[in-house]
Structures are given as structure tokens and as C-alpha cells.
Structure 1
Amino acid sequence: MLNKYPLWKNLLILVVLALAAVYAAPNLYPPDPAIQVTPTRSGAEMSDSVVKHVNEILTAKGIDVLADEVNGSTALVRLTSSEQQLAAKDLVQRELGDDYVVALNLAPTTPDWLLSMGAGPMTLGLDLSGGVHFLMEVDMQDYLSGRIKNYREELRTRLREEGIKYRRVVIDDDKINLVFVDAVVRDEADAFLARNYTEFLREDVDNGDQYLIQLSISDQKKKELEDYALKQNLTTIRNRVNELGVAEPLVQRQGRNRIVVELPGVQDTAEAKKILGKAANLEFRLEAEPGASRITTEEYPFRNDQFRTARLEKTVITTGDSVTNAQPSFDENGFPQVNIDLDSKGGAIMTQVTRKAIKRRMAVLFVERKPKTVYEMVEGKEVPKTIQVVDKSIISLATIQSTLGSSFRITGLESAEASELALLLRAGALAAPMYFVEERTVGPSLGKENIEMGMNSVILGLALVLVMMAVYYRTFGLLANVALLANIVVLIAMMSIVGATLTLPGIAGIVLTVGMAVDANVLIFSRIREELRAGRSPQQAIHEGYNRAFVTILDANLTTLIVAVILFAVGTGPVKGFAVTLSFGIITSMFTAIMLTRALTNAIYGGRRLQTLSIGGKV
């Protein structure tokens, strides 16, 4: 029988529409504006007293609190008004100090029954209401100072290997002074340096009975080092962004020593800032032997017990830069640990050192560079100023039972610390310290305005299309309108399921999808009219109209889909957002404009004796 779908196909369409309605529903629940408070120390728990103090701070300043909740180490304080978010953030951050990170957030309000089904709202892009913009600056001076210290240690080793006797190798500002006993030895060292260290500018200096070679890094080499540091940091930041699972991020260089990071769809800015900016690294050192000189040793506290300390040798066996992989897991007793893999160089050094240090204890030193806010008086006003402090603490001190190689494990960590440490090491260490010079969250007012403008464009375009289709194609136009509304629901559901980020250009893609979806119906209805004019019966005209228009519709949508895929592959930022919604829109419109309208047409006209069709125009 013409124009009848089998039962399974009708049920399939109903199931798809029902699932689409469920997974699109979370977008009807707007999130609450909120501030998020997180301890800066990894693994620290949030106390009720801190949450109570935050509520008191806000209430005292007339900021209304809707609710608060604590989830592990994070406290989320919901506010009644988005206009109060920035003021609340600044106020709480000032009162709590650098022990806590206070960030803007949007607290979800999706009902639990939807969340239990895996349904969640679409992620909104940076230009709407969900995202953060960071401007990070690389501390080149600190990086170059570190490289000069490395050069000093390397020169000491190389000169000893070459049999060139020196008195001392010291750093004077940004220069390295090599002191020799006589001019002959200095000349010998000069020739060696000329052959092996072309990156240095050399200057011979006579100072009484001392013969010096003063080394300074050339401007060209400085630029090369700075470019390397920035590129390495750029790669590390990108890796960390990937670990965060951010959709359509932007990480790019700005100027000589800055990096711009935009994370659309991210509301947990505290966690993002904590991971991106942490210049964390590891140092593996042997514990100092009893009676060792304080000149060659240093004392450090334990990370989980600040009152307990241990004295370590200054010599570093290897660092986190040699780590090729790091994965959190649990030991045989169920305690958290991090499994470490070193590269060939780091593994060889570890083997060489630990072979001679069996039964001695080796420490894993966690090196963290953290920002600290201080307030200075400028023209009678307190102005915040951020300085960088280096914090070193011991996270593990264990006895070496046998020679260690390229693979071993670190124990003595909390679960959260193990996961964070593994993430940082896996993503790569920062070549140079970085600090945040600017942090901007796209304000709720701007995002709200963009959403309203985008929604108005969708509603206006949709309304005009609905009216035109109903007037021009009558009953068939109404069926197309039902399919068009269903298409938007299915499109939103698909984007919510896959976690796609909706941007302002993405809304433009939805508007275009509305036109493209109805265009398929126009082709079908025009074909049905042609079949009626050719003398076919209404049932045959419907059957032929859908079948013969299908090839044309498929070709048109397939070519557009190819273009959308290319746009997504080569485009960035706004172009990707447009390509995403356009691609999904093409897929959903093929379903609704062909299958759904055919099912509705079959339900109304299928199996009936028809003399005419309400399809408008002259037939």
C-alpha cells in the first residue's frame, strides 16, 4: 500500500523524538550565578567554618545568598543576582587571602531525574555566558637566571673532565665568572670555550693575581632561549587544556612573552586557573648523611606535615622534566600512588645514582611556584600587587631497596594530590614560570545580551518561515512546521549529548539550519505539485514526490556537509562554532524534513481515497 510506514519505522521516529525531548529539556533550566571557593593546597578539605565565614562576609555587604553547598574541597555559594557576582568574588578573595581561590561559576539547576539519565544542558561558548579569558606572562628573567645556573654547573663538570684547573666558577648578576690561577690556564680554558660554547660572549679580565673569563649570553642566544621557553610553555598549556577536556579552546602567543588562553564552556575557573598556571615540578634528591655539611645540604618540610622536616643534599638527581608518563593508581594496601616513567637520560642517571645509594633514603621534592597577593599604599589607596614565591616541600621520603631504573612509583600522597601531580607531569612541566596578568570572565550581562539577541534572531526567522509555509502550502505547510520545530529540538539534544559548545556564530548556524530544513520540504512539495499536474493520483503524487526529491535533497545536503566539515577542520574559534551547528543541523534536517514529514503525511493521507490535496497553488 502506498504511503504507509511499517510499525517499526513509526516507533523508531517516536523513540527518537522522545529521547530528543528528554535530552533537550535540561536547557530549559538556567543555572544560578555563584562563586566557587577552593583551597590552593591540593587535597585540602573545605571546612564548614569557612563556608559560614563566606556567608557572613557577603551578608554584611548586602549581597543575598540563595544557597551554599560543599563538595569535597570546593564550596559553591549561589547568589540571587548575576550583577553581584563580581563584587562577591572580589570581596571574598580579599577576606580569605591567598590560601583560597575564589572564582565565578554558574551552578547547574538541572533536576536530578534528568541528570540520572545522563542529560545535561549545552555548553555555552565564551561569547555567551560560559567561559574565561586568561592572559599569562612568562617570567623570562627567572628562566634565564635558571639557565645561567645550569650553565655554571655544566661548566664546572666540563672543565674538570678536560683537566682544566680553575679556582671557582661564580655568577655575578647575569654573567658567569671563571677564575683561574694563571694566564696560561685561562688561555687554555678560553680556547675550550670558543670551541664548545659559541653562545657566550667572552671577555678576559685581569684582577691582581686572579685571571678571569667573564661569560655573558649573547642577545641572539637570549632570544633563542626565550622563544624556546615560550613555545614549550605554549605546548604545555595546550596539553593541560586538553587534559581539562575543554571544547574549542584558544591557546595562542601574544607578543614576546605572553600567552592568551580562552576556555569556552568552562565555569570552574578555579580549577582551570589552578592547573594552567601551576609551575609545579619534581626534584629527586638523596637524604643528607649524618654529619653532612650545611653548605651542601638544605632542610625542607613535609607537604602533609609542616612540623616535620628532613635535610636533603643540594645535588638534584633528576627533575620532572625527565618524566615521560605519570599515572595515578593505588598500591597493594589501597593507598594512592603515582607511577612514574623517565626518559632514557633521566633513567640512566637514576640508575647510576641509586646503584651506589642502596639503603639510603631518597626524597621526592615538590617544587611549586605560587602567586601571593600583597597590598601597597599608592596615593593613599591600597593597591593589590602579585608576587611569585617558590614553595618546596617533601612528598615522599623512602628507603632505596634496590637500583631504580626508568620506572618507579611515588607514594605518600592524598588521592586528589596523586591525580593532580600525575596530570601536571603528564602534560609536561613549564619551561619557565608563568603568572596571570589578566583574568576575565565574560560577564553575565554581556552573555545574556548575546543570548537574547541570538534567540530573537532565531525566533524571528522561525516565525517568518512558519507563517510562509502555512500560508503557501496549507496542510502540508503545517506538517513542515511541526517537523521544523522538531528539528530544533533534535538539534539541541544532539549538541547537548555530544557536549558541543554553542557560540554566537553557532546560533547563526541554527538560523541557517531553519532555512535549509524547510528548503527540503519546499523541494518535496514542489515535486508533489508537479506529479499532480502530470495527472497522477494524490497517493501516487505523494509517493513519487518524496522518492524523486530525495536524491536532490541528499546531494544538496551532502555537499553542504562536506563544506561544514572542512570549515571545522581548518577554522578556529567562531568558524568552528558555526561549522558545528551547521553540521548537526544538516543531519537533523534530513531526519525531520524527510522521515518525520513523511510519517505525518502518511498518518493523515495514507490509505485513504483522495480526490485533492491541501498543498496550495494551482494543481
Structure 2
Amino acid sequence: MLDIPFWKRLLILGLVVLGLLFAMPNLFYKRVELHNDAITAAERNGFESTEQAEARAGWPDWLPSGLVNLGLDLRGGAHLLGEVHVEDVYKARMDGLWPELRDALAAQRDTVGAIRRVTAPEGELAVEIGNPDQMARAVEIARGLSTPVASLTGAGQSDLAISASGNRLQVALSDAEKAAADERTVQQSLEIIRRRIDEVGTREPTIMRQGEDRILIQVPGIGSAEELKELIGTTAKLTFNPVVGRTTDAHARPGTGNVLLPSMDEKDVYYVIEASPVVTGEDLTDARPSFDQNGEPSVDFRFGPSGAKRFGAYTSANISQPFAIVLDDQVISAPVIRQAITTGSGQISGSMNIEESTRLAVLLRAGALPAEMTFLEERTIGPELGQDSIDAGRLSSIIATAAVVAYMIASYGLFGVFASVAVIANVILILSVMSMIGATLTLPGIAGIVLTVGTAVDANVIIYERIREELRAGKRVVKAIDDGFSEAMSAIIDANVTSFISAMVMFFLGSGPVKGFAVTLTIGIATSVFTAIFLTRMMIVLWLEWRKPKQLIL
């Protein structure tokens, strides 16, 4: 029957009112956005500045503050396509293996003789031993350092390829390990880039893999591609290395296993340090901007348990010896170890301002990129172009809604007005759901909303046409309306289920713009069914109870 219980009427109206409430922040987009940014920044930094307090006060905390995030094509921003140099990982793995292999061979010095690292192709490790006739023993020792490949395709294979010729032992990654390392490197780069971008508060970036070693990065709201490159392109590679010596000769030969790096603060000063670090930035668990004992900007950092243990053991064994804090191949400082540092925490200070210390802390907290990245494509979309897209999308939505409303009223009179109210409520509900889940609206997404406006009345048309048929059959007004809703239900469900399946296929198999279209279409399907079946029905019932018509011209 058409009778709708009071609790159900309250529920329908309550959902519509909630939709209005959660969609409302989008009418005050800039103010709410500043409010949300201020809260996020205060939580991240642990304190609230005066500007952040003013921005937070610009929108009441008790009101919903979710917004429909604007995509790159609507907000403007930066687009980058980067290529990951996976070969860098091979070299890093061999450099990291050398201390272990050196110590293992040194323990058998009486057998294999003197050992030394010699020049080898990039990504390989070459070692000469003093007793060539004991090469079999040296190979056995090297193989003892290998581990199984940690991948399904390389299961059962070793991660090291070891060969020998004369007195020369050659070590490299096996093909299976290279394939596994490539996969890990790209996935790790994806995660680190995502963490770095999230740290600075950008909304809904698109970060996805393309091909074997490329990454697509699209960040709405950022100033330019150069600004994005500065954030992503910097490896922020922090290491703590033993110091071998200090010189002013920029062309000094550091020797095998060592590197020559410039000082960041001291002009024409260079340090010879061991290439293999004691600990790296990957051992960090936290990094925050701070101030040193002189009131200058600095960065406080803290190691995890394994890093703290290694750093504590090294400092305990090397008191009165210098060690270098190296950031991106520059020596920040080379302090002398006065006492063992076993707490796992320390401080980086130098010539930096507050902005630089904050940015350094962000990069260290996000971690170092495992390999260098080259940007093959870069593009900046200005906010003016994005605003033009928004204006065009808004105009198209208004025109589509007005056309649908005019057609429905012309075709169905008062019932067309009910359908038009439902269409407008449907658009509001779409925006409210997108605001609650933090979905991103793109230009194709606007097209999805426009399409939903056009198709949202399909259910009403089916219902009204069935009511017309029932009226022609001579049924009373209430009975005709009741049967019209009941008989149209199966057709409405079938039509929307097929549309939903299509939207799901586009969402899971598509990417970028296609996904944006699928999201708005899926939400629009759900809200249009609700407004057509429940909201329109309730409005008709209220009208019937009020007017009690004896006949109906539809």
C-alpha cells in the first residue's frame, strides 16, 4: 500500500537533510579547505600557529568539513612521469655486501691470503685474493653470504651470481634477484613518493606505476612541476660514515672502498669517508624540525632498535674518532665521538632556515628513494584553466538540470515537479557522499554527474507511465499509483543493476579519468534509486493525503 509509516518518513527526510548538511561545506570551499589544512598541519607539527588558529576558526568545528576533492584538471597542479634507475640498487647491494665479504674472507686470511677490492663494472663486486690456489675456498665463503631469492618466480634460486678467474673473485646479483629487486625498487619508490606527498598535505594525488620502471605522479593544487620535482626528486639520503681523512684537494684519490665528499658548510673542505655507512636514513623512525643549543634551526632524529644498536656499538668502539653525517653526498658535519651514543637519538644542525629544516625533516621521515629517478615528462596545469573547467562543468550541469526539469514538468505536470525535486536532491546527495568518502571530482566526473541528472528521471518516467496505464484501465487514483510503483520496481532494479555492473568494470579496469567517471556514476545510481523510489513516493503520498483527489490527469 501507499501508506508510509511515520518513522520511515522521518528516515527519508533525515537522509535528505543529512545530505544537505554534508554537501554544504562545498558552498564555502576555500574557507573549509583552510580550516582542514590548519587542523592537519597542527596535528603533524604538534603545535598550532596564530595563522592556523585563525584559519581553523573560519569554519565551526561542530559542522561537517568534508569536501569533494578537485582533480588535477579542475584545480590545476603538476604532472610528472618519472623513470626509476633500478640499476642503482645493484651497486648499493654490492657496496653493502663488501664489508661482510671482507670480514668473512679476513677470518680465513691464513688460507686465502691478503684480500683487496678492485675496480669492477657498475653493479658488481670484484675481490683479489693472495692465494689463487685457494679460490675454491673463497667462492665457498662468498656463497655462504647468499640467500634464496624472495619472490615466487625466483623461488629456489640464489640471490648472488659468483664466478672466479685466476686470483679474482667476481660477485653480482643473479638474474632472478635482479628481477625481484626491480619489482621491490619500483614498489618502494611508489610508497615513498606517496608518503612524501602526503606529508606536505596535498589532496588526492594520483601516483601509479606505468610499465616496468616508470611512475606517473599527478598532484592537484601544487604550484608547479618544478616544485613537485624538488619534493620528489631529492633522495634525502642520510648516512653516518667513518671518516678516513680530511683534505682541501678536490681531486684527491680516496682509495678503494672510500669516497671523497665536499663539506656542506666549510668552503673548499673535503672529507674522505668509507663508502659503506654504519647506519642509514632507513634506520630512522622519526625526524622533526627543532632548534639547537644556539637557537638555530635543526632536525632531531631517532633510530629504531637495530639502528640504535649498530650506532651505539660503533660509537663505543671509536671514541675520540670523527664520523661524518652525510646528506645527499655532502658532509653536513663531522663531529668527534666524545662518548658512546646509545640512546639512538641525535641532532642535525647546520646552515639552514626554519623552512629548510622542516622540509628536511619531511624528507627524512618519508625515507630515501631506493634509486635515482629521471623525469621524462613534466607538465603544469594552471589554476585558471582548472577554474575554466569548473565553470564549464557548472554551466553544463545547470543547463542539463534545467532541461530535465522543464521536460518533466511539461510531460507530467505536478508529478513532474516531484520528479524535479528528486533530481535536485539526487545531485546534492551525490556531492554529500563524495564529500564524506573524500572522493575526487574530475572533469569526466562532472560528465558522470550530468549523465546521472539525465538518467535519474528514468525511474520516475517508468513509474509514471505505469501509473498512466493503470489509470487507463479504470483503476482508482490511489490504486493506480500503488500498482504503478509496484509494477515498475522490477524494471527499475534491472536497469540500475546493469548500469552498476558497467560502472564497476570501468572502475576496476580503467584508470585516471575513467575511474573518476565510474565513481560519480556509481554513487549517482545509488542516490537516484533512493530519490526515485522513496523520496518521490513520499512526496506523492503527502500530496494524496493533503488533496485527496478523486481523479488524476497524468
Where does residue 22 of structure 1 map in the other structure?
Answer: 24
Matches within 5 A, 1:129-144: 129-139=75-85, 144=90
CA distance in 1, matches of 2:184, 2:12: 61
Aligned counterpart for 2:235 among listed residues 266, 279, 283:
279
Change beyond 3 A, Cα 1:518–1:341: farther
Q: Which of 532, 548, 553 matches 1:609? A: 548
Using a 3 Å threshold, how does the CA distance of structure 1 residues 191 and 550 change in structure 2: closer, same or farther?
closer
Give the Cα–Cα distance (whole angstroms) in 2 for the partners of residues 600 and 286 of structure 1: 79
1:429 counterpart residue number: 368
**Counterpart AA for 2:304:** L
Q: In structure 2, which of residues 217, 236, 243 is the aligned counterpart of residue 262 of structure 1?
A: 217
- What pairs with 1:182-261 in structure 2 (closer than 5 Å)? 183-184=132-133, 189=138, 199-204=161-166, 213=168, 215=170, 217=172, 220=175, 224=179, 229-240=185-196, 246-247=203-204, 249-254=206-211, 258-261=213-216
Aligned to 1:575: 514
Q: 2:250 aligns to what?
A: none
In structure 2, do the counterparts of structure 1 residues 588 and 20 end up closer, same or farther at CA, with 3 Å as the change threshold? farther
CA contact (8 A) 1:202 1:213 kept: yes
Inter-CA distance 524–289: structure 2 relative to 1 (3 Å threshold): same
Structure 1 residue 157 corresponds to structure 2 residue 103? yes
Change over 3 Å in CA distance of 1:167–1:121 after alignment to 2: closer
Match of 2:531 in 1: 592
Out of 96, 114, 125, the position equivalent to 1:166 is 114
Q: Structure 2: which amino acid aligns with 1:251?
A: M
SS in 2 for 1:132: strand
Q: Is the 8 A contact 2:308 2:342 kept in 1?
A: no
Using the TM superposition, give the Cα deviation of residue 134 of structure 1 relative to its aligned residue in structure 2, in angstroms. 1.0
**Partner of residue 319, structure 1:** 280
**CA gap 1:528/1:342 in 2 versus in 1, 3 angstroms:** same
Distance in 2, matches of 1:438 and 1:580, equals 28
Closer, same or farther: CA 180–435 of 1 in aligned 2, 3 Å? same
| 2:81 corresponds to 1:125 | no
Structure 2 contact 207–218 (Cα < 8 Å) conserved: yes
**Secondary structure of residue in 2 paired with 1:606:** helix
TM-score, length basis structure 1? 0.62
The answer on 1:367 being equivalent to 2:327 is yes
* Amino acid of the structure 1 residue aligned with 2:278: I
- Report the equivalent of 1:385: none
User: Counterpart of 1:25 in structure 2: which amino acid?
Assistant: L
**Contact 1:126 / 1:503 at 8 angstroms: preserved in 2?**
yes
| Structure with the larger strand share | 1
SS of residue matched to 2:422: helix
SS of aligned partner of 1:438: strand
Does the C-alpha gap of structure 1 residues 596 and 187 become closer, same or farther in structure 2, counting only changes over 3 Å? Answer: closer
Give the Å deviation of 1:24.
3.7
Partner of 1:504: 443
Q: Deviations over 1:443-487 (max 9, x none)?
A: 568757766775676556545533432222122112212321332
Change (3 A) 1:20 1:219: closer
Contact 1:250 1:261 in 2 (8 A): yes
- Shift of the alpha carbon at 1:595? 4.3
Structure 2 distance, partners of 1:398, 1:608, is: 91
1:161 partner amino acid: A
- Per the alignment, do residues 400 and 415 of structure 1 end up closer, same or farther by CA in structure 2, a change over 3 Å counting? farther
Q: Is the 8 A contact 1:20 1:489 kept in 2?
A: no
Q: What is the rounded CA distance, in whole Å, between the counterparts of 2:544 and 2:76 in structure 1?
A: 47
**Displacement after TM superposition at 1:279 (Å):** 0.6
Match of 1:352 among 290, 309, 313: 313
Distance 1:18 1:397, change over 3 A: farther
Between the aligned partners of 1:508 and 1:199, the Cα distance in structure 2 is: 55
Q: Using a 3 Å threshold, how does the CA distance of structure 1 residues 496 and 261 change in structure 2: closer, same or farther?
A: same
Structure 1 pair 354/566, CA: closer, same or farther in 2 (3 Å)? farther
What letter corresponds to residue 413 of structure 2 in structure 1?
A: R
Q: What is the aligned-residue RMSD (CA, Å)?
A: 5.2
Q: What do residues 551-593 of structure 1 show as CA deviations (whole Å, max 9, x unaligned)? A: 7656754675566456545543233212210222123324433
Q: 1:493 to 1:26 in 2, by over 3 A?
A: farther
Q: 2:249 matched to which residue of 1?
A: none
What is the alpha-carbon distance in structure 1 between the residues aligned to residue 290 and residue 30 of structure 2? 41
Distance in structure 2 (CA, Å) of the matches to 1:181 and 1:288: 25
Q: In 2 relative to 1, CA 544–283 (structure 1 residues): closer, same or farther, beyond 3 Å? A: same
Contact kept, 8 Å, 1:27 with 1:120, in 2: the verdict is no
Structure 2 CA distance for partners of 1:613 and 1:426, relative to 1, 3 Å = farther
Taking a change above 3 Å as real, the CA distance of residues 599 and 419 of structure 1, as seen in their structure-2 partners, is farther
> In the superposition, relative to structure 1, how do residues 397 and 523 fare at CA in structure 2: closer, same or farther (>3 Å)?
farther
TM-score w.r.t. the length of structure 2 is 0.69
> 1: CA distance between counterparts of 2:173 and 2:270?
40
Aligned residues of 1:521 and 1:593 also touching (Cα < 8 A): yes
SS of residue matched to 1:506? helix
Residues 138-179 of structure 1: CA deviation (Å, up to 9, x unaligned): 346655554454454444323202223226323266475544
Counterpart secondary structure, 1:492: helix
CA contact (8 A) 1:483 1:593 kept: yes
Between the aligned partners of 2:272 and 2:143, the Cα distance in structure 1 is 36
Q: Structure 1 residues 419, 516: closer, same or farther in 2, change over 3 A?
A: farther
CA distance in 2 between counterparts of 1:541 and 1:166 reads 101
2-side partners of 1:190 and 1:132: how far apart? Answer: 51
Shift of 1:114: 6.3
Q: 1:202 to 1:357 in 2, by over 3 A?
A: closer
Aligned to 1:478: 417
Residue type of the alignment partner of 1:477: G
Matches within 5 A, 1:508-519: 508-519=447-458
Unpaired segments of 5 or more residues in structure 2? 34-44, 46-50, 147-159, 247-253
SS of residue paired to 2:215: strand
Where in structure 1 are there 5+ consecutive unaligned residues?
32-42, 44-70, 73-109, 205-211, 369-389
In the alignment, what sits opposite 1:68? none
Which protein has the bigger helix share? 2
Shift of residue 501 of structure 1? Answer: 1.4
Q: 1:12 aligns with which of 10, 14, 19?
A: 14
Q: Is residue 196–residue 232 contact of structure 2 (8 Å, CA) maintained in 1?
A: yes
Aligned-partner residue type, residue 349 of structure 1: R
Query: Structure 2 vs 1, CA of residues 499 and 493 (structure 1 numbering), >3 Å: closer, same or farther?
Result: same
Aligned amino acid, residue 280 of structure 1: A
Matches within 5 A, 1:109-124: 122-124=68-70
CA distance in 2, matches of 1:604, 1:355: 86
Q: Distance in 1 between matches of 2:290 and 2:173?
A: 49
Q: Secondary structure at the match of 2:405?
A: helix
User: Does the aligned pair in 2 maintain the 1:26–1:119 contact within 8 Å?
Assistant: no
Instruction: Give identity over the alignment, percent.
Output: 31
Residue equivalent to 1:85: none
Q: Could you say if the C-alpha distance between residues 200 and 480 of structure 1 is closer, same or farther in structure 2, counting changes exceeding 3 Å? A: same
Partners of 2:10 and 2:174 in 1: CA distance: 74
